[in-house]
Structure 1
Amino acid sequence: MKLNKECFNIVLIISLLSFNAFAQERLPLIRVLNQLEENFDVKFSYSENDIDAVFIEKPNSEASLQSIIDGLNDETLLNFKILDERYITISSINKTINICGIVLSETDSFPLIGATVQVVNTQKGVITNSNGDFKLKDVPVNSIIEISYLGFEAVQIKAIDLRKTNQSVCSNIVLAEKAEALNKILISKFLTTGLQKRVDGSTVLNTEKFGTLPGLTEPDVLQSIQALPGVESVNESIANINVRGGTNGQNLMIWDGIKMYHSGHFFGLISAYNPYLTEKVEVTKNGTSSEFSDGVSSTINMFTKNNIDETVSGGFGVNLLHADGYLQIPLSKKLAVHVSGRRAFTDAFSSPTYNQYFEKSFQDSELTTNSENISDAQQSSDFFFYDYSGKIVFDVNEKHKLRANVIGIYNNLDYTESFENSDGETESKTSNLKQENSGFGGSWNADWTNRFSTEISGFYSKYNVDALNYRVETDQSLTQANEVLETGIKLKNTIKLNKTINVLAGYAFNEIGVLYKTTVSAPSYDRITKDVLLNHGAFTEIEYNKNNTYLRLGVRGNYFQKFNSFLVEPRLNLRQKLSNQFALKLQGEFKNQTTKQKIDFQDDFLGVENRRWTLANEQLIKISKSKQVSFGFEFNKNNWLFDVESFYKIVDGITASNQGFYNNFQYENANGNYKARGLEFLVNKTATKYSTWLSYTFSKNDYEFETITPSVFPNNLDIRHSVSLAFNYNILKNLEASVGGIWRSGQPYTQPVEGNETIQDGNATVVNYDTPNHENVEDFMRVDASLNSKFTLSNKVQGQFRLGVLNLLNRNNTTNRYFELNSENSNETLRVDNQSLGITPNASLRITF
């Protein structure tokens, strides 16, 4: 005991001496300054209030003056500046420091790639690299740093708390996932910056952080998602996105809660949704939440920015087709207005990009083929488009939020032919094609408690196609109109039972009306049809996410009042991790769809193919019903991702007139189904400076129509093999390049019977088609490239310049093939090949503030 007591006393004395020695090394700054003035014959200029009560470690007596001053700058919040050999100033203002940090996920401590680190109220910022690291130089010492990441709660930290000195280690900043979402981000940098993958298998496109994809000059929402396996457009049209063998009309498009019936400008070649006010896009191919019905192939859900900033922000830009701008204006701490607008200048200026798009969109139409009979001086065409959107963001308080939004999309084509009548006078006849989609929506969100919330939303959507096609050679006018009106109301309740379980329950009501009108002048003909359908839906689901298991299990019931029909739609989404790197996933869903697109052929709308909407009537047009299941696995290690998924999908209730046949079935009213089954493979490697990926899709897609012979034959969208390869590289800090290619099998087509190409059908001669879709056009191949450069104009103004080239090798690709009678010899047929875009350059310049 005595020995222990002596040992304790010795330890205590040593500790006190050590503490006293350490304390002696912490000196008042004023004393150190006086000593430095004496040792180096210098003079410090300062305010006593700035250095009062500042203590520092005693400088090394053998160090140089410069190293001592550098050490004082690192150690204190003061700014030491050497004016000349004698005078040194000390101030507490305009002090800048270097900061650094490592951003991690609270759940698994994984680094968050692409997190935004921004100095509040400035444009100064950076994104984290593949290790979650960031560094920022010359940050005002009194500033606040905000760190944000999609799906996580943003945090604000004082810059001084992240100060980087020569000896310090960068701080860890841990972000917590947002409480309302169990469906967390699984992969933060998927293919490129701004593309993320969720644990439920859906893909999220974050347009604000979007990197570079080959050929693109802006984060075009519907172009970008075609980088995903199983998503492509067989004719390069945004208005014809095919997901796992489905038609474009089988994709559910939602913009801020408003169901949209129109997706593209320039008749499908450009997305109709301004990406700079669209904050994120969620793409789901299977295992959809029971909250959503319709869209038997996919759900594409777009969200605009939903927050209130402290200052006005916005941007504007121009490329070779259009100009656009957007503004986010805070009117108070609780109220803000967001507006955007875009308009083409194609009716005033024809760029190389416009010429390529025009040739692609209007090939084999009257706008190009009439030139054989009518000189250029006797015909003219004007085309333009515009879109706009607006949103009111009102936070009543922390518990209640109101949102209201509006969107408008417009395309217009005028085609004028001039001719000389029998009296020698010149007359002009103008044809017109107009497409328009407008919508209004609103929502109220209420957080009653930390665990219970309610959302009530509603929308109104209106889609119109109006066309006047005047044929000079026959003095005949054809007027067609297609209108879709839909209103919807939804009530959704979310209950958080605990940190791992969410329960969702709600009710939705939709009323859809579709009108179609046709009027012909000679001979006189007039027809109008109108259908209305009411749909009641009730849905519920449970979402579980804990440790290695994610499960979302739901069911939806739909009652169609007109048909007195009730459909039950179960939904399943399961992901099970077997190790830190390996996971299995299983998804399945039943869905239905009551609206369908009917394709108008070459003799309508100036020969420009147009798609009009029809509504199920359970007679000639059945409700489409889909059943889909997919199974696969993921392996993710060291920023390598291997994703393999097999799928089987059957869609019943399709009609032949909705498929766009170019054979003897094109006017049939037969009902049938298609079955698509295949395999999707993706390998993706991401790093700080580069990202590369290779995807391959195998798919076999067959029709079955019992009343058609043969009853089973390949689908028009039966693309057996599809390969995509791309590489992104950060050449410099603000310069990124991207190059990539697409190769896929050719689209099926129907060949006329060799040696007997035409037959008589009553008094008419028609093409005598052979076995349907028995042949394929040549394989499709395209190489694209992009260059993206960022620059700073001031502390609050940033710029971006992009160059993009589609079909860099100018390869001639045939996207579709059909046959028509030879006008000079009705016993012969002529082959018509629809060609893809030629080499198409584009450039864009953007300014944001």
Structure 2
Amino acid sequence: MTLTRCIFYILFFFTCISYSQTTTAKKPLPSILNSIEEKFDVKFSYSVDDVNNVVIESPSPQYTLNQTIAYLNNKTLLNFKLLNERYITVSIVNKTIDICGIILAQENNTPLLGATIIITNTQIGTATNYSGKFKLTNVPSNATLSISYLGYATKQLKANYFFNEENNCKTIILKETNQELNPITITKFLTTGLQKRIDGSTVLNTEKFGILPGLIEPDILESIQALPGIESANESIANINVRGGTNDQNLMLWDNIKMYHSGHFFGLISAYNPYLTNKVIVSKNGTSSAFSDGVSSTINMFSKDHITNTFSGGAGINLISADAFLQIPISKKLEFHVSGRRSFTDYYSTPTYDNYFKRSFQDSDINTQEINQSNTSSNFYFYDYSAKLLFNLNPKHKFRANIIGIFNNLDYAETLTDTNQETTSKNSYLSQENLGFGGNWQAQWSKKFKTKLIAYSSKYTVEADDYTVQTDQRLQQGNEVLETGLKLNTHVLVSNHFSLLNGYQFNETGILNKTLVSNPSYIKEKKDVLLNHAFFTEGEYKKNSTYLRLGVRVNYFQKFNKLLIEPRLNFRQNIFKHLAVKLEGEFKNQSTTQIVDFQDDFLGVENRRWILANQENIPITTSKQGSFGLEFNKKNFHVDLTSFYKKVEGITASNQGFYNNFQYLNATGNYTSKGLEFLTNVTAAKYSTWLSYTYSINNYFFESFTPKQFPNNTDIRHSISLAFNYNIFKRLQISLGSIYRTGIPYTKPLEDNETIQVGSFYQVNYDVPNKENLDPFIRFDASLNYKLNISKKVQSSLRVGIKNITNQDNVINRYYTVDENNKQKAIQVDNKSLSFTPNASLRFNF
């Protein structure tokens, strides 16, 4: 009996397996259609694209032709229709379906977090989660999906490919592009749209950007301040300090055009429209040898570079400005992108504008409401625009042409009424502009060899006409930078794991500075020109858990007959599955710097002017930097610990903006910055939270000064930021954050001897430089983003942001001036940060 049962169960088991295999066996639809044609002597008429990816079970052999047609209609999203006894048409049924997929990397079948799935010719899409999974509902069955991920080849699939009766998720494998040796290691870093590459640089993808505390838009230069080691000591975008450096030590590129201007509102708003800026790559160390300048960092901005053959665009308005952008396909090979933004502050004043105005102009003539019997008024506006022409001659040869314009204008009127009640009015103005042109030719000569030829021109001008009624004096000032450049990159893919980059770069930089005074008459004008030739080479290797980029750049300055050799190193090695060690180092130089004059430059609003190195009193600035760190990354948990050491030589006293006894002296020195950066970040589908901490010591050294060594103006010993993002609902996000940092140094007047007479003038008699520190800077910010549901073709969002929720009274700078009523005394002047400042934006994308 027992043996009989065993035999029965065995036979039953194998029968079930056989039945299961028979019933679940699926075949490609074209193969099934061929069998049906032979069996019933009929002919199917269809598009290959419609049936290629359809897989179903074969119909029962006992079915008649009509039963077979009914079966096919039931099992697919296609419409099978008998025209007559011989011919059957096949077409796509126009209905919506729900689709589900899992995106994996081909190399190791790991899920890709943040892969983008877009329904082509629409603004509808989604992104994958930590499991690489995505879902889309109510998708037209005849739609095409574009699946993309940075560093991987894009795939396009029909929506009906995902259709199956069991509602199982289809698996899609993406293949790494052969030329991508620098992949993303962290796909969601702090917030969506922020990613970290294997070489340590950070990528800001503005199109996918989520939300950060206090921000209503993906402001490029504000967003990067969420990264450890990047501060703004005075809360200004025009003064970004990377590991203790000054703002002029950051190389800013926009589509390969070197930019000399960064902020609207004289530093409070980024001058680069984020809605055509596709991505930004920020490097603090270990930079590619293809780049020079920027001894502190490289901020490389790229606009959209792919022809989509889709008309799309967007527009938005906030409490400061309005903007719009368009992507216009002209033909399959030609496309035009354009964007523009303008403030409306010269027509209408908002509370946000009032706070920005007060913050920007608090330390200038512009914010003075009354000077003796003089009344003042001012009018300020800004705008920016960009355009790009994309032409693909063929898949192997692509041409691009760009233009970008940035403009700030301030008109200032002063009216004086004398004792006879006669009124005199005088107007002053300040304008600031950066205009850039660029173009490039990308050529793929073979699978392993490509070149890129780049040419650009950048012109920066700032002009001021300042008329003072009381002294009847007119002061005209100007600063102009004109740079042209040519660059050739050659890229050889030696193997799937190793590539070689070689290139040549030529730059001609001319800088003009002029000052004209009417009473007493005085004219000073100086123009310098510098030519620079550079050759660079580097090898990049990535295999499994090892990444290495090793390069060298050779710079030759024709005017000085000077040669500078700059080695570069970037190394990362996984020592365990989730733990990596990284080592970075670089030598860099820059020949353009800014000098700072707090006394009389440009109405006291813009205190910086660009100058060129002359190797006499203004040397070429050079830097040496090294960093070592550990990085732990496991699913949604990331920890980064990095130590760094940087020494920058060839700085001058005039470009540091001293408020002490050294501010009128000419001297050359250096500064040394060293410290530790820590970041921990936990992310999930609905939230992200992070804590960053930076400890640094930053000291000057000037041989001719006493004392020779003292704290740097941007010496911020401790800086902590904490933030939390949460998706409350599917369409509602909130972001909360806080910043704490120790106050920057300042110099007090000498006690009991606060001023000193020099000739017929008095000046402040300062004590030991930078001996004191301001109170700590504390700020709490919040943002809210709500996605409006208008239509399937139009995406819209309402964002609200508040900076300094608690209205903290932060002093960001302190200096002293001579008391005009008592020349023996000095008056303390405090510059304050933004007060409680709300802002809101409404956007529409189509």
Report the TM-score when normalising by structure 1. 0.90
Q: How does 1:274-293 map to 2 (within 5 A)?
A: 274-293=273-292
Q: Where does residue 154 of structure 2 map in the other structure?
A: 154
Give 3-state SS (helix, strand or coil) of 1:396's partner.
Answer: strand
CA 1:830–1:545: 2 relative to 1, 3 Å: same
| Residue equivalent to 2:230 | 231
d(CA) in 2 for partners of 1:502 and 1:137?
A: 42
Between the aligned partners of 1:22 and 1:265, the Cα distance in structure 2 is: 69
For 1:268, what is the secondary structure of its paired residue? coil
**8 Å Cα contact 2:150/2:183 also seen in 1:** no
Deviations 1:24-54 (CA, angstroms, capped at 9, x unpaired): 999xxxxxxxxxxxxxxxxxxxxx999xx99
> Which residue of structure 1 lines up, in the alignment, with residue 690 of structure 2?
693
The answer on 1:341 being equivalent to 2:340 is yes
State the secondary structure of the residue aligned to 2:600: coil
Who is 1:36 aligned against? none
Aligned to 2:701: 704
Other-structure match for 2:656: 659
The secondary structure found in structure 2 opposite 1:367 is helix
- Partners of 2:485 and 2:122 in 1: CA distance: 41
| Deviation larger for 114-123 or 184-193 | 114-123
The alignment partner of 1:201 has SS state of: coil
Q: Distance in 2 between matches of 1:290 and 1:229?
A: 24
Question: Does 2:418 match 1:417?
Answer: no
Residues 763/122 of structure 1: CA separation in 2 closer, same or farther (3 Å cut): closer
* SS of residue paired to 1:154: strand
Q: Is the partner of 1:816 in helix, strand or coil?
A: strand
How many residue pairs were aligned? 794
Distance (Å, rounded) in 1 between the aligned partners of 2:313 and 2:143? 22
**Structure 1 residue 162: deviation in Å?**
1.6
How do 1:542-691 and structure 2 match up within 5 A? 542-691=539-688
Contact 1:365 1:602 in 2 (8 A): no
Gaps (5+ residues) in structure 1? 1-6, 27-47, 59-70, 81-89
Q: 1:21 to 1:775 in 2, by over 3 A?
A: closer
- Which residue of 725, 731, 753 corresponds with 1:756? 753
Q: Cα–Cα, structure 1 residues 738 and 24, in superposed 2: closer, same or farther, change >3 Å? A: closer
**d(CA) in 1 for partners of 2:435, 2:23:** 73
Q: 1:142 offset after TM fit, Å?
A: 2.1
Residue of structure 2 in register with 1:503 after alignment:
500
Aligned to 1:472: 469
Aligned to 1:139: 139
8 Å CA contact 1:98, 1:164 repeated in 2: no
Asked if structure 2 preserves the Cα contact closer than 8 Å seen for 1:79 and 1:95, the reply is no
Give the match for residue 64 of structure 1: none
Separation of aligned partners in 1, 2:437 and 2:419: 51
- Contact 2:339–2:387 (CA under 8 A) maintained in structure 1: yes
Residues 1:374 and 1:393: Cα distance change in structure 2 (over 3 Å): farther
| SS of equivalent to 1:223 | helix
**Is the contact between residue 78 and residue 95 of structure 1 (CA under 8 Å) also seen in structure 2?**
no
Change (3 A) 1:486 1:55: closer
Q: What secondary structure does 2:138 align onto?
A: strand
Shift of 1:132: 1.7
Q: Structure 1 residues 570, 72: closer, same or farther in 2, change over 3 A?
A: same
- In structure 2, distance between residues paired with 1:230 and 1:808: 24
State yes or no: 1:321 paired with 2:320.
yes
Report the equivalent of 2:129. Answer: 129
CA contact (8 A) 2:162 2:170 kept: yes
Seen in structure 2, the aligned counterparts of structure 1 residues 256 and 74 have a Cα distance that, compared at 3 Å, is: farther
Change (3 A) 1:57 1:785: farther
Q: Deviations over 1:453-473 (max 9, x none)?
A: 011111000000100111111
Map of 1:39 onto structure 2: none
Instruction: State the secondary structure of the residue aligned to 1:732.
Output: coil
**Displacement after TM superposition at 1:424 (Å):** 4.8
Match of 1:267, SS?
Answer: coil
- Look up the match of 1:350: 349
Q: 1:331 to 1:713 in 2, by over 3 A?
A: same
The within-5 A match list for 1:402-551 is: 402-420=399-417, 424-551=421-548
How many Å separate the matches in 1 of 2:751 and 2:108?
65
Shift of 1:792: 3.0
Take 2:121 and 2:435, find their aligned partners in 1: how far apart are those partners?
A: 35
Q: Give structure 2 stretches of 5+ with no counterpart.
A: 1-6, 27-43, 47-53, 61-70, 81-89
Query: Is 1:809 aligned with 2:809?
Result: no
Corresponding residue number in structure 1 for 2:744: 747
| Alpha-carbon distance between aligned partners in 2 of 1:18 and 1:105, rounded to the nearest angstrom | 34
1:54-69 pair list within 5 angstroms: none
1:167-211 Cα shifts (integer Å, max 9, x gaps)? 343122222222222001110000000000000000000000000
Q: CA deviation at 1:410?
A: 0.3
What does residue 171 of structure 1 align with?
170
Change (3 A) 1:730 1:25: closer
Looking at structure 2, the residues matched to 372 and 77 of structure 1 have their Cα atoms a distance apart, in angstroms, of 79
The offset of 1:370, in angstroms, is 4.5
Q: What is the identity, as a one-letter code, of the residue corresponding to 2:798?
A: F
Q: Any conservation in 2 of the 1:287–1:588 contact (CA below 8 Å)?
A: yes
Aligned to 1:45: none
Deviates more, 1:761-770 or 1:400-409: 761-770
User: Does the residue aligned with 2:223 lie in a helix, a strand or coil?
Assistant: helix
Among candidates 725, 731, 736, match of residue 734 of structure 1: 731
Q: For the residues of structure 1 that align with 2:734 and 2:596, how far apart are their CA atoms?
A: 39
Q: 1:584 to 1:525 in 2, by over 3 A?
A: same
User: C-alpha displacement at 1:18, in angstroms?
Assistant: 5.5
Q: Is 2:246 aligned against 1:257?
A: no
| Cα distance per residue 1:643-681 (max 9 Å; x no partner) | 000000000000000000011111111000000000000
CA displacement 1:554-612 (0-9 Å, x = unmatched): 00000000000000000000001011100000000000010001112143322224211
**Alignment partner of 2:833 out of 790, 812, 836:** 836
Alpha carbons 1:452, 1:496 under 8 Å: kept: yes
For 2:231 and 2:656, the matched residues in 1 are separated by 17
* Percent identity of equivalent pairs: 61
Match of 1:823 in 2: 820
1:793 maps to 790
What CA distance in whole angstroms lies between the structure 1 residues aligned with 2:727 and 2:20?
53
Alignment of 1:91-106 (within 5 A): 93-106=93-106
SS in 1 for 2:823: strand
Query: Which residues in structure 2 correspond to 1:187-202 (within 5 Å)?
Result: 187-202=186-201
Equivalent residues of 1:290, 1:555 under 8 A apart: yes
Instruction: Provide the rounded CA distance (Å) in 2 between the counterparts of 1:107 and 1:717.
Output: 45
Residue 432 (structure 1) shift: 0.6
Q: TM-score, normalised by structure 2?
A: 0.91
- Please say if residues 484 and 513 of structure 1, whose CA atoms lie closer than 8 Å, have aligned partners that are also in contact: yes
Q: What residue is the counterpart of 1:271 in the other structure? A: 270
In structure 1, distance between residues paired with 2:809 and 2:276: 36
CA contact (8 A) 2:373 2:417 kept: no
Query: What is the alpha-carbon distance in structure 1 between the residues aligned to residue 417 and residue 446 of structure 2?
Result: 76
Deviation at 1:124, TM superposition (A): 2.2
Q: Indicate conservation of the 8 Å contact 1:313/1:329, yes or no.
A: yes
Distance 1:181 1:21, change over 3 A: closer
SS at match of 1:826: coil
Cα deviation per residue 1:488-512 (whole Å; 9 max; x = unaligned)? 0001100000100000001000000
Cα drift, residue 143 of structure 1 = 1.8
Residue aligning to 1:184: 183
> Cα offset for 1:828?
0.5
CA distance in 2, matches of 1:743, 1:55: 64
CA distance in 2, matches of 1:695, 1:507: 39
In structure 2, what residue type is equivalent to 1:689?
A: K
